[in-house]
A and B are shown apart, each in its own frame.
Chain A
């Protein structure tokens, strides 16, 4: 599913652009933004197969964005991409573990990311 639609939201612009570059290079159809607010707009206008979302961002958390995505299209698979220590515990505490397809911990390796996407799209 090389043409799968992926949205990428991370307030770290360098990382966000870098990952978007790799994924486009892999043939995915990628929309990316460093602004969570813009992210919400994109989500409102488009349908995505996969969402890669940072947890900690200004104004909005990854969980809030994930809920928007799931409201819009429950089929969208969401990965939380975060360097926050013990993020698993946070998701459990917030009672959203079941909404999450997977956690990709920063710093992550190329194959970790690509394997996770392949797994989700298989």
Chain B
């Protein structure tokens, strides 16, 4: 039996051994410190291995002298706090190993007494792996969130700037960076970046372009090399010397610049700034580059969408304009699909599209034409059409031609061009009128020339007539004057003869006075003919009894001619007939014709046979009067000239009698005809309308 002391000593040894075993084998690092001095009294092998110091290096040292613990119990002040509080626990302060690694640890310190001495036991557990898992989980969650938000932003985005601001916001809000901005290459040489969007720039000075420009050295470089550049510890990087101060002010510790790529070419950058150094480990880079890749794609997609909308818009406008032109143009338009036979030779074509003018110019209706072929619609038409369009389809060369459509009976002028293989468009005009005119011109060139010649001759004739009219007008003035001046002495002569006749009883004197009367008559008639010839104008129509006029003339003649000339009156048909004519002019006509007849019968030898017959017929519309004599007749060669002015075969006469008769009858709308056989007399036939018609 051992005594109580021995038993106590054995128990102590056992406890000591058990403690030591636990201390040596523990999977946590354990430090035993002298609570008064902070000197390390003991350290277990696990901690030695964890930190990389030898046991000897640790023992006897004060804890704040060791680099690893400088953050944990960094000063005597902290140590004093531990002494006071008897317990501290940290989880957020990593330790640094001798080779520079940082280890995340759970640090628990307790103060207790051993043999009345105060000691501190520090238990240090390596929680790096746990920390890493937590971190990964956090990052994964963040990446998912950022990625989802980024996708949503891309889907929702309609405006590029808005979308880029949203992207920057995601980087700052979801990914937890201090600042993000996007810039675009301003021009093709990519030397200068133009800020486009940013989030997290609080300092107004930094937001101005000048300062941004200063911060862009790295970004410019990125655009240029089109690679990601980053600066883990911003302040140490030589290229950031220029912006050190600014970066410091803003609290940036590291940054990354990533190119926005489109088809292998950088068109801008995204710049991200962090307040933590070494903020862009590999997995973080993956997330960011994915986001930036999405952003670049999203921006391009937006631009494409915008471009597409613009193109769509322009296309619609263009279509509208085209349609309006298409429907309003006066030229016909048709789009044809060329149909080829087995040998590839064009044999027909199909109408794919036509405009309104097409319908107008061809007379064909849209519904009857569309998707039908030429040979179906116009089976008998000119095959030249297929040839022309086929040629264009094969050669691709536009042509202009004129062709006739035998089915439509029209000529067209056509301009045809190929729009795509096997499609030929044609613009055409109806030139039928022009063609017709051309044809008529060609055909009638000679006719036209002869017409021109005729017209020219007619003009010459008119000119001659005008000249004669002028001459006649001069003669008219002269004749009127002469007539008046001669008629007074003629009247005086006549009156003198009358007075002499009243005084002279001698028959021989009376006979001479008769001659005076006769000569005065003849002179007066010459004056009358000259007047009528030169002054014939519009007849003064009156309702006249034509019988009375003819009767007066016949009876005047009877008094003047020799008694052996027989005057046969066969014009009683005209009795009571009233017709419209100028009485003076009518009297002139019959006076002249009767005197001509009397001259004809009195010229020959057989004076006893002289006979003048005046006969007449009345028809509903006109009267016909014949004056027939059995006189000497008119020589054949003179017959054509009897109406010519101043033509006469008589020894005395002005040659105006028949001319005047012809003109008077003509202007009354009638006609005068002379039949004569030399030696067998002459018949003059006068036709006059009953209603005075003016020619």
Contact = CB atoms under 8 A, between A and B. Distances in A.
B495 A15 contact: yes
B48 interface: no
A18 B495 contact: yes
A85 to B, nearest CB: 5
Contacts of B531: 85-86
Interface stretch (B108-116, B343-351, B484-492): B484-492
Contacts of B2: none
Nearest to A15: B492
Given A83-B487, A85-B480, A85-B535, A107 B499 contact: no
Nearest to A109: B494
Given A21-B499, A107-B494, A15 B488 contact: yes
B487 A22 contact: no
B217 interface: no
> Which of A12, A15, A85 has the most B CB atoms < 10 Å from its CB?
A85
A85 B484 contact: yes
Nearest to B530: A85
Contact of B491 (A25, A56, A89, A108): A108
B584 A109 contact: no
A25 B502 contact: yes
A5 to B, nearest CB: 21
B491 A106 contact: yes
Nearest to A56: B484
A95 B502 CA distance: 39
A2 interface: no
Contact of A22 (B491, B502, B524, B584): B502
B496 A18 contact: yes
Contacts of B490: 83, 106-107
Name the interface size band of chain A: 20 to 34
A18 B531 CA distance: 27
Interface in A92-114: 92, 105-110
B540 A106 contact: no
A89 B540 contact: yes
Contacts of A18: 492, 495-496, 498-499
B106 to A, nearest CB: 150
A29 B108 CA distance: 186
Contacts of B494: 107-110
Contacts of B524: 107
A107 B491 contact: yes
Interface in A7-51: 12, 14-15, 18-19, 21-22, 25
A52 to B, nearest CB: 12
Nearest to B531: A85
Interface string B481-524: 00110111011111110110010000000000000010010001
A83 to B, nearest CB: 3
B473 to A, nearest CB: 14
Nearest to B488: A12
Contacts of A110: 494-495, 498
A12 B502 contact: no
Nearest to B490: A107
B487 A107 contact: yes
B502 to A, nearest CB: 6
A106 B498 contact: no
Interface of B: 479-480, 483-484, 486-488, 490-496, 498-499, 502, 517, 520, 524, 531, 535, 540, 584
Given A12-B491, A106-B490, 15 more contacts: A14-B496, A15-B495, A19-B495, A22-B495, A22-B499, A83-B486, A85-B479, A85-B483, A86-B531, A92-B540, A107-B487, A107-B493, A107-B520, A109-B517, A110-B498
Closest 6 CB pairs of A and B: A83-B487, A18-B495, A106-B491, A107-B490, A107-B491, A106-B487
16 contacts: A15-B488, A15-B491, A15-B492, A18-B496, A19-B495, A21-B499, A83-B486, A83-B487, A83-B488, A83-B490, A85-B483, A88-B540, A105-B487, A106-B487, A106-B491, A107-B524
